[in-house]
Structure 1
Amino acid sequence: MTTTLALQPSLLEDGLPLHEVEFVVVDLETTGGSPNADRITEIGAVRVRGGQVLGELGTLVNPDRAIPPQITVLTGITDAMVVDAPRVEDVLATFMEFARGAVLVAHNARFDMGFLRAGCERMGLPWPSPVVVDTVALARRVVTRDEAPNHKLGSLARLFHAAVVPDHRALTDARATVDVLHGLLARLAPLGVTHLEDLVTAADPVPEARRRKATLADGLPSAPGVYQFLDHTGRILYVGTATNLRTRVRSYFTAAEKRKRMAEMVTIAARVHPIVCATPLEASIREIRLIAEHRPPYNRRSRSPGSEPWIRLTDEAFPRASIVRSVPLTQTTGVLGPFRTRSQATLALESIQSVFALRGCTDRLPARPAAGATACSLAELGRCAAPCTGGIDRAGYGAMVAAFAAFCDGETAPLLLHAAQRIGLLSAQHRYEEAARERDRCQALLRGAQRVQRLRALRTEQLVAARPGSGGWEVVVVRHGRLAATAVAPRAADVLGLVDAMVATAEDVPAPTTWSGAALVEETEILSHWLEQPGVRLIALSEGLAPSRPVRGADHALSDLASHLGLPAVEVTEGDGGTAEVGAA
């Protein structure tokens, strides 16, 4: 029979108050200090909750070896006492059942956990990585040298007036540790250690003022949503999203939060405002919208997403690629972006001029070359076809423009071929910095194409989709790339009835006039990713065609480039036909 110790990890996730936590305080006596070489001779354990003892377990253990004399002197346990005792295999299985669903506590927990883990390994049992609390570490936090000469169990038992005196016998020492634990918890409570997640990090170096602010999380729901940290004037300092609002907010007041700017933010914060959302998807999108609306000073995500640059073909006799702030929807091709930064757009523009030989000058060229026109340095270097001097006619230049437009629409093979040849040549010549620059240009160009292809895929007037989740079917209504409504249907049979109500009450989203769409680009990207997840079902689509992206488009090209250059891969779901289907029904 296989026994496992189910020490619920959900205890931490649910933000359990300490008076509701069940602790199993354990103490071991052994033949020595090495978990691998020595063996357990006695186990003592006490199960408590809210200060009440729920049960005790105490037994000698036959170690299958002689007990060293110095150990007998220390513990009083002799070979004769353990000769008829049960073996560790039986005792450990009993202890694991006794400790099921509890948090383990020990004085110098590393010692006791080491022997328990080693015992499980020898028996072929999986070690469940339980939540462990060490009373030695807690004592170092709140007990000073003036109160106790050291942090040994005997010294702490005297300080906290334990009902029993530790005597190096397992059950007696476990009982004493229970009283020590309760004394320590009483001291930690005024410091903000009131929940289990506080306790497991209580020994970490967190300033007391910061830990006391954990009360800001009191009363927050254990539900998905968005949280806002506000100062005493009501100004929003930071916006975040969580699948469990209470647990996530409480983590800011423990050692789990390592970011310096967050420590500064918590110091200023006066309250936390929660916004409960129906689904994690809604929470993610609300976070993006709130950051864009309020521009919180402690959020690093772009607070001006609408100002991201684009690349578009100009409308003239000899078009060029130009970096712009917006692109009208009337331009149906030759569009890339938006790019996250101006520098990324500049890299992509350099790649366009290199791969497709489009001109880089900003002059507006006539259909016929002007008399006396001279070529620029790029033409002399062979990086421009020089339409300004008649080096190429409109038909020939139009073919190059068409190649770039085809790339924007998903034909990435020419770019990949050019990049592979160029990077390979530069690397062979040991010109590694130039090769890296070429790689960066290629990546920037592909990422611009990737974003615009995602936007194009969700430009439909209305899309309704559903995906099974832990609480039922998550249903979304998307209009022009913007989340217009979302809700959860408990059963599949309820989905269609819910859809009718959602469509009737969903946000009215006007049709956009620019490529930026009716929503922030990042919002549309999140929706696109959600639609790509396994199990998504398309329920209704205004135009009757599933949103799709080119199979050999930017997603595929980035993955292909990554496989050759050792870059992070990009996940893509391919359909049966010529497009990568987003959330195939």
Structure 2
Amino acid sequence: MSTTAASPSTDRSGHPPGHRSAYQATFEELGTPLRDVTFVVVDLETTGTSAAEGGITEIGAVKVRGGEVLGEFQSLVNPGQPVPAFVARLTGITNAMVATAPDIALVLPSFLEFARGSVLVAHNAPFDVGFLKAMCARLDYPWPGFQVVDTVPLARRLVTRDEAPNHKLSSLARLFHATVSPDHRALSDARATVDVLHGLFDRLAPMGVTHLEDLATAADPVPPEVRRKRHLADDLPDAPGVYLFRGPGDEVLYVGTSVNIRKRVRSYFTAAEKRKRITEMVRIAERVTPVACATPLEAQVRELRLITEHAPRYNRRSKYPERHAWVRLTDEAYPRLSVVGAVVEGAAHIGPFGSRRAAQEAVHALHDALNLRQCTARLPLVSRVAGSPCALAGMGRCSAPCVATEAPDASYAAVADAARQALTGDPAPVVRALSDRIAALAHQERYEEAGEVTRRLRAFVAGAHRAQRLDPLARCAELVAARPSGIGDAPGRPGGWEIVVVKHGRLAATDVSAPGADPLPLVAALRTTAEHVDPPVAPAPAAHPEETDLLLAWLGSPGVRLVHVDGTWACPVRAAGAHADLAWASDRVRAEMDAVGHAHESQVDTMTAC
């Protein structure tokens, strides 16, 4: 089945985003209810606080599931070292009691077998688990990798100072009316911790923490109204794709993408989400719509298109492609540079830039390097009446074609040709001229001015480089490429091929072939069913420029093979990409600063780093 990216309002099966196809959900998707989890609540008594140097004197544990005790484990342990007097007074465990007890090498395997397949629970778990891990390492036993629940941070989240003076086990046992009082003996303390755990679970349930997966973030300082909305992620797929948070009136509040939709959406209801605006968004969200995609590339493209379509108020980027600016060399007798919002046929352009300010910086860079006129009047090829030269002409920065009355200004034609070549071909003359100026300013210790010229140069090179990358793909009627599945940013389904059909810089179709299957029939099907795309005015692509950037990044990733190209996909040999890091300008500034004996490395980095 082909998967086209033409309509972001449908999922891969052609259904609306809210449609849920019938399928058997996995246990991972559903989560594990706490009543079905087997917990082993453990407590240790030790000779001290250091797991690296101390020893275990007693292990006690209670296995429980669904509120029912399934078994208990208790054993004294010979720590292999004397029990300190203060520990003996605290626990009641003396040297005489452990002298005949089994060594940890005998007790630890029995405990690990008792706890196998369970979730470990402890009060101040880092202490107890730290000792158990240290003993495993000392005896060269592999640590089973238990999931661990610590009742201390849960208690800090759920029990206020008005209810208990502190969060010690004894205080919590009194609060939750534990049937056993903790007395610093391992099994008694473990039994008391079981009652505390169940008391904490009773308080977590109204907050929406009802599954094992919820416990990982149950202690996070998340507002209750946010945590209660964790159910919005319950029916989402564990697959790459796009998700839309929707608010009252089905308004699209936020659009995001992930290689695992369900896992990513769940993170919005935990302390991992620290953005205040997004927390505000979650408070008013009413549902989440998933759009499963074949590959992360398709997900990224769909996200971009949905953001452009809906302009969600909580998304900050890519909402207004019409605000992108281009720099154009005008098509007139004496061309000049102009910042415009769209490209026209037959003119030289660079961009698009993210803002008019960035585009204007590129214009200043070209004006610094070339004597292009900066006036906005439309000049005839030969004026009947000589104009009045401007101040720039007097400074030698303009050939003043406005004063030509007898013949066209041939010198200006050469300047315009140089500008056209810098925009569409090799920008080296402009880079060289501005590099010399930057070096001269640095030599004169005019570092702020050198930084300003560097910013202009950076803007020009970035705009020229982007246009020269977009232009060939925008002119290419159809390009089909493939990449082995399961590599790079595409998880899962190894052995197949990701197939991508691009038309004029727009994703027209994509899908993944089955592992081991011949991908060519899928290629033929995708080419037949791909979206029709009208040719744009190059270098502007037939899509959001950021979409074409995503496609170019994918096409340049390891393992990509070209299957079919209708047209030409090539970049100039001496293109702006060769100067993208501005290493030339950076080296010149450093050399000049070294020459004058300055070592302001931080200043240089600020001025010249790309």
Select the residue among 521, 546, 554 that pairs with 1:522: 546
The SS at the match of 1:239 is: strand
- Which residue is 1:510 aligned to? 534
Query: CA, structure 1 residues 22+316, in 2 after alignment: closer, same or farther (shift >3 Å)?
Result: farther
Residue from 453, 468, 484 that aligns with 1:438: 453
CA distance in 1, matches of 2:422, 2:37: 60
2:370 to 353, 356, 374: 356
Cross-structure match for 2:575: 553
Cα deviation, residue 309, structure 1: 1.0
8 Å contact 1:204–1:255 — kept in the other structure?
yes
Match in the other structure for 1:225 = 241
**How far is 1:248 from its partner?**
1.5
* Equivalent residue in structure 1 for 2:86, among 70, 95, 104: 70
Change in 2 beyond 3 A, CA 1:401/1:176: farther
- Equivalent residue for 1:337, pick from 351, 367, 370: 351
Deviation of 1:123 (Å): 7.9
CA-CA distance at 1:212 after TM superposition:
0.9
Higher relative contact order (CA 8 A, sep 6+): 2
Matching of residue 447 in structure 1 with residue 453 in structure 2:
no
2:277 is aligned with 1:261? yes
5 Å matches for 1:96-135?
104-115=120-131, 132-135=148-151
Residue ranges of structure 1 left out of the alignment (5+ in a row):
1-10, 571-585
- TM score, norm. by length of structure 2: 0.81
Distance of 2:161 and 2:111 partners within structure 1: 35
Select 1:239's aligned residue among 248, 255, 260: 255
Equivalent residues of 2:473, 2:541 under 8 A apart: no
Amino acid of the residue matched to residue 530 of structure 1? W
Q: What is the SS of the residue equivalent to 1:442?
A: helix
- Contact 2:245–2:285 (CA<8 Å) still a contact in 1? yes
Encode CA deviations 1:312-365: one digit per residue, 9 max, x unaligned.
11112221121111112443xx31011111111111110111123322221223
> Cα gap change, 1:45/1:16 in structure 2, threshold over 3 Å: closer, same or farther?
farther
**Aligned counterpart, 2:497:** 473
For the 8 Å contact 2:230–2:269, the answer to whether it is kept is yes
The aligned residue for residue 464 of structure 1 is: 480
Distance 1:432 1:214, change over 3 A: same
Match of 1:326 among 342, 363, 368: 342
Name the counterpart of 1:421: 436
CA spacing shift, 1:95–1:365, aligned 2, 3 Å: farther
Q: Distance in 2 between matches of 1:549 and 1:88?
A: 69
Q: Is the aligned partner of 1:308 residue 2:330? A: no
Q: Report how far residue 229 of structure 1 moved.
A: 1.4
Percent identity reads 56
Task: Look up the equivalent residue of 2:297 and give its one-letter code.
Answer: L
Over 3 Å counting, the alpha-carbon distance change for 1:154 and 1:520 in structure 2 is: same
| Shift in alpha-carbon separation, 1:154–1:482, aligned structure 2, 3 A | same
Tell me which amino acid in the other structure corresponds to 1:336: I
Q: Which residue of 2 aligns with 1:404?
A: 419
Give the whole-Å Cα distance in 1 for the aligned partners of 2:69 and 2:430: 71
Aligned equivalents of 1:295 and 1:314: distance in 2? 32
Which residue identity does 1:522 align to in structure 2? Answer: E
Q: Deviations over 1:384-407 (max 9, x none)?
A: 343334699744333333333333
> Structure 2: any 5+ residue segments left out of the alignment?
1-25, 487-491, 588-603
Structure 1: distance between partners of 2:473 and 2:68: 59
Measure how far apart 1:42 and its partner are: 3.9
CA distance in 2, matches of 1:440, 1:22: 61
Distance, in Å, in 2 between the alignment partners of 1:319 and 1:475 is 44
CA distance in 2, matches of 1:358, 1:102: 76
Which letter maps to 2:355? Answer: T
1:516 and 1:307, CA in 2 relative to 1: closer, same or farther beyond 3 A? farther
CA distance in 1, matches of 2:459, 2:146: 45
Question: Which stretch of structure 1 is more off in the superposition, 79-88 or 187-196?
Answer: 79-88
* Structure-1 separation of matches of 2:144 and 2:364: 54
Is the 1:237–1:296 Cα contact (8 Å) retained in structure 2? Answer: yes
Partner amino acid, structure 2, of 1:462: E
62 and 394 in structure 1: CA distance in 2 versus 1, 3 angstrom threshold: farther
Shift of 1:477: 1.1
The equivalent residue for 2:159 is 143
Higher mean C-alpha deviation, range 380-389 or range 440-449? 380-389
Aligned length: 556
CA drift at 1:86: 6.6
- Map 1:529-540; keep pairs closer than 5 Å: 529-540=553-564
Partner residue, 2:220:
204
Q: Residue type matched to 2:580 in 1?
A: L
* In structure 2, distance between residues paired with 1:430 and 1:512: 47
Change (3 A) 1:146 1:413: same
CA distance in 1 between partners of 2:30 and 2:574 (Å):
47
Q: Provide the residue aligned with 1:293 in structure 2.
A: 309
Distance 1:190 1:136 in 2: 19
Deviation at 1:265, TM superposition (A): 1.3
Q: Distance in 2 between matches of 1:415 and 1:122?
A: 66
Structural RMSD (CA)? 3.5
Whether the aligned pair in 2 keeps the contact of 1:353 and 1:384 (CA below 8 Å) is no
Do the aligned residues in 2 keep the contact of 1:12 with 1:197 (CA within 8 Å)?
no
Q: Does 1:498 align with 2:522?
A: yes
